[in-house]
Amino acid sequence: MREAVKELKKIRKWLEKLDLDDSAVEQIVSLLEAIADHGEDAERILRRILDEEQEQRDILEDERELLQAILTELRTGAPPAEDIGDELEDLIGERVEITVNFGPVSGTVIAVRNDYAVLEDALGRFVYIPFASIQAITRLEG
């Protein structure tokens, strides 16, 4: 029993070094105490701990990505790149006017890649437009 208490203290110190919120650390510690006190299935408990830790990290990553997208939109006034890409994919083969930092560009949407779109202008030239430069997209009639 004394050995288990020592191990719990070591594990608690290790957990405190991780970037987890206090409630997650407390949940993990209470699970470990349950192992020591009641002899529960250690492997099952440890899997739950790892699952909870991964879930916490996933939530933090999702929140970070959302905040990054919001900051990008606030800085540039443009929607996030994945929204722009989705919108442009729906417009492949259509004539559009895309407002970029230096003014409007019009043509037919030919292709959409990870972070840029390709338009063919009225003279048959290909125009490559990075998503980061796009401020607005307007579908043109005819």
The amino acid that residue 16 corresponds to is E
Residue-level pLDDT at 78 = 55
**Burial of 37 from C-beta contacts in 10 A (0-12 / 13-18 / 19+):** exposed
pLDDT value at residue 39: 58
- Token pair recorded at residue 35: 């192992």
Q: How confident is the model at residue 27 (pLDDT cuts 50, 70, 90)?
A: confident
Contact 132, 122 (CB under 8 A): no
What pLDDT score was predicted for residue 127?
Answer: 95
| Size of the chain in residues | 142
Taking only the tens place, the pLDDT of each residue in 70-129 is 776 666 655 555 688 889 999 999 999 999 988 999 999 999 998 899 999 999 999 999
Do 28 and 52 touch, CB atoms closer than 8 A?
Answer: yes
pTM over 0.75: no
Q: How confident is the model at residue 46 (pLDDT cuts 50, 70, 90)?
A: confident
Predicted local confidence at residue 40, as pLDDT: 53
78 compared with 17, residue with greater pLDDT: 17
Interval 79-88: pLDDT, tens? 555 688 889 9
Q: What is the CA radius of gyration of the chain?
A: 26
